[in-house]
Amino acid sequence: MTFAAVGDSITAWIDRGGVHNHLTWVSFAESPDLHFIENEGWAAGGAKLAEMQANVRPITADVLIIAAGTNDLGDKWGTPIGERLASIDMIVAISDPPKVVLAAVPPLDSHPAWAIEWNTVLQQFAEQRGWSFIDPWADVRSPDGQYLPGLTIDGIHPTLDAQQIAADAIAKSLTAR
């Protein structure tokens, strides 16, 4: 099975300078049964969903994983939920994948309620669209919605161990289909 990904810095396999980053869940999810198509999808550090929508192109991968929205969260500077969902719809329409998986965003230690709310919206949206939803961060999130101790480098970005946990959950979900 092949997959493409759309996301932000937690997903980005190439930084904005063109340097490969093999330390994200995307690289860790690859296996003999699951192949990442690097030149499809789109991800960049700091990206919001509208930027992802502007940069995504049609894909040939079996599955598109959208792991995004952390940079859109916020009460003053955040993107309204309706605009976020419209961007996701456009990402899917442009990519035209056979299957779609929406992934929960990881914890956000400074404002855990924002990530919890967005993940609830994402899950409902996936159900409404007939897409799959996965929370690959469930095993790195504490009951209060923050990262478990030792699994974040800054309260936003996961450690390598947390990336591996998320990758394992994603790979297991995809290969079980």
pLDDT of residue 177: 61
Domains, the chain, ranges and CATH?
Answer: 2-175 (3.40.50.1110)
Of the chain, the percentage scoring pLDDT greater than 70 comes to 99
| Euclidean distance between CA atoms 18 and 150, whole angstroms | 29
* Residue 31 backbone phi and psi in degrees, to 5: -155, 175
pLDDT of residue 77: 84
What's the pLDDT tens digit per position in 154-173?
999 999 999 999 999 999 99
- The neighbouring-strand residues paired with 64 are 4, 100
157 with 7: CB under 8 angstroms?
no
What's the pLDDT tens digit per position in 76-124?
889 999 999 999 999 999 999 999 999 999 999 999 999 999 999 999 9
How much helix, strand and coil, in percent to the nearest 5, is found in the chain?
40, 20, 40
